[in-house]
Amino acid sequence: MTTREKLIQAQKKDKLPKITVYNRIDGPGSSLDLRLFQQAMWHMIGIPEDPFNDSSMAWSKGLPRTLGITIDVGTEITAEPAPEGKLGIESVDFGFSYLYDKDEIPPIKENWLLKIMGVFNLSGVKFVTRNLFPELKSAALGGSASVTTGVAILANKLAREKFDEHQLVGLASVMEHDLEVSITGTQEQSNVVFGGVVDYIWFPWGIPGEGSFYGTSIRQEILKEADYQALKDRLDLYFLMERFSGDVNSVWHQKLKKVQGFKLHRKKIDLAYDYKEALRTKSWEAAVEPIRQYREIRTQLCENYMSKPAWEIEEICQKYDAASFPVGGGGGSSLVYSPDPKILTLIRNILKDDFKLIDYQILPYGHKVENLEGFLSK
């Protein structure tokens, strides 16, 4: 039975295959996952036989890394039957729908999700995407990369899981970046594949001596699920409804190619390590300075990183020894962090009339699949 025939049967039973993918909050380490940044800053280092033996992971100092926090803001992707020989994609929220002969899909920006589906040689399949929170479009939470990764995971499952996890991360990143959908790296993709509160140490050439791929990481779980609330009590997220991240990422790329810019970017590596250690050890006070310094470096490298709403939030934070950080490439959303939950509540009351507080929960997983029974075997 073909995949299309299985989808027709599943549709009759109202049990179409579906994946829900979840976005991330980043912080210090953001942008170090971009491909050129990984490649420019990575160097050969001795990896212990058991890299997790030392819980501080001190051996990894000096390597590019990003800490991701999975939250329950995301997108649902459903597989539906399409005419035989066709591939389709539809976005309920962004209002586009494309249907092509599966072997005649040109590699252009609009077709990036279809080109991923085509990698898996699917036929007679259409994916429909729907935001869980439509009002949070373009919130700089990694939504497009999350959807791209979700399409890759679901297509991989319909093709009976030919690619491993790191290959899916790399495939989703390269396709989205190279078709010029956005400047993306591997943090959002890894967040969808693995999830939780995780520090990702990047290996752009793969782990030496192993047959791995771009998108490879060594991962350390920073907080257990029991500690999620303690972090959430200290970290709020606000939707700013203003975004310049495409331009900001481009400027950061250009600055990376200059000596002074490269030196500034490199300072972020140590700050990312300090931040993950502060959260891992629950040294809440120690997380403030890495957030502040990382934000200041990013602003030095591109003033547009801090939009007017972001500056308004930062001015309030400065009055209360808290720290703000526009996530992603800046603009769409900003985190506000205070080691004292009471201070965070005070700031929340000040900001509530001017900014939308995103009511999120931290999740221990990056995606959830449903209704795949019967699709994983021939």
Model confidence pLDDT, tens digit, residues 105-160: 999 999 999 999 999 999 999 999 999 988 776 667 888 999 999 999 999 999 98
239 with 178, same domain: the answer is: no
13 with 144, same domain: the answer is: yes
263 with 163, same domain: the answer is: no
134 lies in some domain: yes
Q: Give me the pLDDT at residue 242, please.
A: 60
| Residue 194: CATH number of its domain | 3.30.230.10
| Residue 333: CATH number of its domain | 3.30.70.890
In degrees, to the nearest 5, what angle opens at C-alpha 280 toward C-alphas 75 and 54?
120
377 lies in some domain: no
Task: Tell me the C-alpha distance between 77 and 219, whole Å.
Answer: 26
Q: Please give the model's pTM, rounded to 2 decimal places.
A: 0.95
Cβ count within 10 A of residue 293: 18
Q: How many domains does the chain have?
A: 2
375 lies in some domain: no
280 lies in some domain: yes
User: Mean pLDDT across the chain, nearest whole number?
Assistant: 94
209 with 233, same domain: the answer is: no
210 with 77, same domain: the answer is: yes
Q: Quick one: what percent of the chain has pLDDT higher than 90?
A: 87
Q: Give me the pLDDT at residue 313, please.
A: 97
150 with 282, same domain: the answer is: no
349 with 204, same domain: the answer is: no
234 with 195, same domain: the answer is: no
Instruction: Indicate the range of 24-28, 312-316, 326-330, 344-348 predicted with least confidence.
Output: 326-330
Q: Give me the pLDDT at residue 139, please.
A: 65
63 lies in some domain: yes
378 lies in some domain: no
250 with 121, same domain: the answer is: no
174 with 218, same domain: the answer is: yes
Closest CA to 378 of 110, 87, 5, 115: 5
Residues sharing a CB contact under 8 Å with residue 75, sequence separation 6 or more, in sequence order: 20, 21, 129, 130, 131, 132, 143, 146, 147, 150
Domain of residue 338, residue span: 227-357
236 with 104, same domain: the answer is: no
DSSP 8-state secondary structure symbol assigned to residue 186: S
242 with 130, same domain: the answer is: no
